[in-house]
């Protein structure tokens, strides 16, 4: 363990990572960033995400983004020798994280009851699409399926003008949310273990995570709104779009000063918070008459300087070069055998220790020595 890792808040914690794709690997990378020793288990030939584009010299930066800082063991989960090797390894671990479909780990002899019998203080976290019980528990699910099931996509479609079908899915909210909830639940269980000495089993559902995301939608599904909820929408600039959110009375007053429209303060549509909510589209149309005559960067500068929350729309590549993010050091360079690439560090900071990205992306099976003497029989 290097000195940097040894100073991190989860240093000394060992995690057996039985996850793949996005939700589980994101959770365990957060654990690794915080100093835990994370041992990623991969099937013979490696997890299929190792071949996910973008690929450079045969190595996926997508895979590296989610798995940097972890160890790698290559083992056949379906071979009895491999299962025995993993049970021995689990006995040395504080945490196990898996995101198989419910029932799979029991068939493999790697479920919580089996491993807790070996390690009673084990914290074991299962991440799945629909949770470990209920009528849909064993149905297959990826993030787009969950987005459709929970009502998110139809809500987003309703919020768009002229859209006649649910949106395409490109950002995997369900996976990332479930990974974050799993990370937090594991910390909570470890805190409880420190007090009681007892282990814990955690059931994290992508569907449950997404439903928790939709606060106003859940309430509006139960209670009728007196008028349609206002939407934050883009307004056109001379060379792109900006979004402005003058929600508070002070923000609205600042807006009227910047655009030189003091008459809005007496306009019955805009003079009160309720009036602005009910006539938000009209207010944005008035604002667009001003923004459309100016470049987006100028609109952002003038409004933000005056105290009005505002941003121009940018690409991810532009956002990665934002001087603010550069100064905060959000993006860190990591390496694999194909070279270097950038990934974002954790979205929280500690005052006394760095919890940024650490280490390299391990070669497949680089740490097979952790499996012990049966590793050859386990498929390596």
Q: Which burial class, exposed, middle or buried, applies to 95 when counting CB atoms under 10 A from its CB (0-12, 13-18, 19+)?
A: buried
Which residue in 175, 263, 354, 367 is the catalytic one? Answer: 175
Instruction: Indicate the helix (H) or strand (E) that contains 63.
Output: helix 61-67
* CA-based R_g, the chain, Å: 25
Nearby residues of 181 by Cβ (< 8 Å), 6 or more positions away: 204, 209, 212
Q: What is the rounded CA–CA span in Å between residue 71 and residue 364?
A: 9
Terminal CA-to-CA distance of the chain, rounded, Å? Answer: 25
Strand, coil or helix: 16: strand
The C-alpha angle 165, 289, 317, rounded to 5 degrees, equals: 55
Would you call 175 a catalytic residue per the annotation? yes
Q: What is the rounded CA–CA span in Å between residue 19 and residue 338?
A: 24
Q: What is the rounded CA–CA span in Å between residue 342 and residue 231?
A: 34
The DSSP code for 143 is H
β-partners of residue 241 are: 236
Active site residues: 175
């Amino acid at each position: 363990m290097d000195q940097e890792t040894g100073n991190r808040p989860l240093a000394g914690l060992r995690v057996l990572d039985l996850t793949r794709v996005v939700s589980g690997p994101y959770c365990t990378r957060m654990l690794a960033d915080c100093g835990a020793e994370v041992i990623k288990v991969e099937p013979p030939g490696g997890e299929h995400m190792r071949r996910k584009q973008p690929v450079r010299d045969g190595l996926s930066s997508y895979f590296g983004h989610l798995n940097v800082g972890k160890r790698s063991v290559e083992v056949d989960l379906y071979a009895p020798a491999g299962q025995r090797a993993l049970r021995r390894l689990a006995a040395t671990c504080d945490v196990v994280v898996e995101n198989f479909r419910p029932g799979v780990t029991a068939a493999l002899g790697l479920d919580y009851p089996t491993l807790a019998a070996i390690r009673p203080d084990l914290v074991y976290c299962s991440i799945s699409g629909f949770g470990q019980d209920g009528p849909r528990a064993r149905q297959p699910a990826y993030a787009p399926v969950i987005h459709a099931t929970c009502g998110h996509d139809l809500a987003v479609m309703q919020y768009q003008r002229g859209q006649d079908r649910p949106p395409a899915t490109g950002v995997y909210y369900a996976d990332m949310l479930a990974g974050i909830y799993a990370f937090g639940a594991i910390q909570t269980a470890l805190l409880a273990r420190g007090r009681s000495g007892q282990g814990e089993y955690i059931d994290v559902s992508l569907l449950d995570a997404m439903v928790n995301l939709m606060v106003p939608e859940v309430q509006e599904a139960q209670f009728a709104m007196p008028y349609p909820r206002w939407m934050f929408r883009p307004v056109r600039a001379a060379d792109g779009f900006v979004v402005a959110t003058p929600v508070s009375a002070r923000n609205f007053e600042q807006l009227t000063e910047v655009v030189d429209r003091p008459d809005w303060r007496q306009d019955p549509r805009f003079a009160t918070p309720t009036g602005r909510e009910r006539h938000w589209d009209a207010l944005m149309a008035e604002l667009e008459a001003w923004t459309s005559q100016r470049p987006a960067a100028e609109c952002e500068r003038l409004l933000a300087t005056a105290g009005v929350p505002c941003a121009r729309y940018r690409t991810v590549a532009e956002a990665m070069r934002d001087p603010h993010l550069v100064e905060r050091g959000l993006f860190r360079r990591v390496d694999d055998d194909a070279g270097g690439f950038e990934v974002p560090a954790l979205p929280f900071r500690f005052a006394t220790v760095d919890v940024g990205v650490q280490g390299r992306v391990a070669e497949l099976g680089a740490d097979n020595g952790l499996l012990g003497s049966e590793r050859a029989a386990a498929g390596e």
